Structure 1
Amino acid sequence: MPRFGFFAIREFHIAIRDVTHLRDMVSLAQLADGSPESLEQLSAANDLVYIRFERIDGGDTISEIPAYAGIVPQVKDAVKRIDVIIQAGLPLDEKGLRQLGIELDQIVARMNDEYYKYGEEVNVDLYAAETNLNRFNYQIAFALTVLSALAIGTAVLLIGRRETISKLEFLAWRDATTELKNRAWMSANRDGLLERARLSGQQLRLFLIDLDHFKSVNDTFGHHIGDMLLKTVAETLQSVERPDEVAAVRLGGDEFAIMAIGPSDDLGHRLREQLNRFADLDGHQVRIGASIGMASFPDHGADISTLLRNADSALYAAKAEGRSGFVTFSPAILSQIDLQLGEEAAIKQALDDDELFLVWQPQFELASGRMIGAEALVRWRDRVSGTVRLPDSFIPTAERSDLILEIDKVVLSKACAQAVRWVPVSAGDFICAVNVSGKTLQADAFFVHLVEVLQQTRLPPARLQLEITEGVFIQSKDALNTLAKIRKLGVSLALDDFGSGYSSFGYLADLDLNQLKIDRSFLNDLESSRKKQDVVGGIIALANSLGMTVMAEGVETEGQLAFLIAEQCHGAQGFFMSEPIEEKLLTNHLIARRGNLKARAGSKLNLSA
Structure 2
Amino acid sequence: MTHLRDMISLAEGAPNSQESLDQLSAANDLVYIRFDRIDGRETISAIPAYAGIVPRVDDAVKRLDVVIAAGLPLDQKSLTELGLELEQIVGRMNDEYYKYGEEVNADLYSSEVSLRRFNYQIAFALTILSLLAMGTAVLFIGRRETIKQLEFLAWRDATTGLKNRAWMAANRDAMLDRARETGKQLQLLLIDLDHFKSVNDTFGHHVGDLLLKAVAEILESVEQPDDIAAVRLGGDEFAIMAIAERNVGDDLGECLREQLNRFAELEGHQVRIGASIGMACFPQHGSDISMLLHNADSALYKAKAEGRSGFVTFSPSILSQIDMQLGEEAAIKRALNCDEFFLVWQPQFELATGRMTGAEALVRWRDAVSGAVRPPASFIPIAERSDLILELDKVVLGKACMQAAKWMPISAEEFICSVNVSGKSLQAYAYLTHLTEMLQQTGLPPSRLQLEITEGIFIQDSRNALESIRKIREIGVSLALDDFGSGYASFGYLADFNLNQLKIDRSFLGDLASSTRKQNVVRGIIALANSLGLTVVAEGVENEAQLDFLIHEHCHGAQGFFMSEPVEERLMTNYLIARQGRAKHIEKFRLSPFAPAPTLLRKANVVAKQSRKTAN
Do both share a fold (TM > 0.5)? yes
Partner Cα distance (1:242, 1:256) in 2: 17
Q: Match for 1:575: what amino acid?
A: F
Q: 1:327 aligns with which of 271, 287, 312?
A: 312
Report SS of the residue matched to 2:419: strand
Structure 1 residues 223 and 64: CA distance shift in structure 2, 3 A? closer
Mapped partners of 2:126, 2:172: distance in 1? 23
| Distance in structure 2 (CA, Å) of the matches to 1:409 and 1:507 | 26
Deviations 1:334-386 (A, max 9, x none): 11111111111222222233222211111111111111011111111223223
The equivalent residue for 1:146 is 123
Deviations 1:11-36 (A, max 9, x none): xx3xx413523652674574xx6xxx
Select the residue among 567, 581, 592 that pairs with 2:578: 592
Q: Give the counterpart of 1:541 among 527, 536, 544.
A: 527
Query: CA deviation digits over 1:494-532, x for unaligned, max 9?
Result: 121123223143322222221121211222333333433
Aligned to 2:54: 65
Q: 1:147 to 1:203 in 2, by over 3 A?
A: closer
Q: Quote the offset at 1:305 in angstroms.
A: 1.1
User: 1:66-465 maps to which residues of 2 (within 5 A)?
Assistant: 66-82=55-71, 96-97=72-73, 99-120=74-95, 127=102, 129-133=104-108, 136=111, 145-146=122-123, 166=148, 168-263=150-245, 264-265=248-249, 266-465=251-450
- The CA deviation at 1:220 is 1.8
Q: Deviations over 1:121-168 (max 9, x none)?
A: 576565554534455455689877127799xxxxxx997xxx986555
| Root mean square deviation of aligned Cα | 3.4
In the TM superposition, what is the alpha-carbon distance from 1:210 to its structure 2 partner?
0.9
Distance of 1:173 and 1:563 partners within structure 2: 69
The one-character-per-residue Cα deviations of 1:421-448 (angstroms, maximum 9, x if unpaired) are 2212221100111111122223333223
Cα distance, 1:482 vs structure 2: 2.7
> Structure 1: which amino acid aligns with 2:161?
E
Equivalenced residue count is 562
- Deviation, structure 1 residue 204: 0.6
**Inter-partner Cα distance in structure 2 for 1:59 and 1:103:** 30
Change (3 A) 1:354 1:527: same
- Structure 1 spans left out of the alignment, 5+ residues: 1-12, 34-38, 83-95, 151-156
Judged with a 3 Å threshold, the aligned counterparts in structure 2 of structure 1 residues 184 and 105 are, in CA distance, closer, same or farther, namely farther
Per-residue CA deviations over 1:541-589 (Å, capped at 9, x if unaligned) read 2222222211111122333323323333221111222211222222232
Kept in 1, the 8 Å contact 2:363–2:396? The answer is yes
**Are the structure 2 counterparts of residues 369 and 405 from structure 1 closer, same or farther at C-alpha, using a change threshold of 3 Å?**
same
Q: Which residue of 2 is the match for residue 45 of structure 1?
A: 23
Report the TM-score, using the length of structure 1 for normalisation: 0.84
One-letter code of the match for 2:233? L
Q: Secondary structure at the match of 2:406?
A: helix
Change (3 A) 1:49 1:323: closer
Moved more, 457-466 or 206-215: 457-466
Which 5+ residue runs of structure 2 have no aligned equivalent? 38-49, 128-141, 583-597, 607-616
* 8 A contact 1:280–1:286 mirrored in 2: yes
* Aligned counterparts of 2:494 and 2:210: Cα–Cα separation in 1: 29
Q: Using the TM superposition, give the Cα deviation of residue 47 of structure 1 relative to its aligned residue in structure 2, in angstroms.
A: 5.5
How many angstroms apart in 1 are the aligned matches of 2:342 and 2:5?
50
Question: Percent identity of the aligned residues?
Answer: 61
Look up the SS of the partner of 1:605 in the other structure: helix
Aligned residue identity for 2:69: K
CA distance in 1, matches of 2:161, 2:269: 23
* Structure 1 CA distance for aligned equivalents of residues 198 and 530 of structure 2: 31
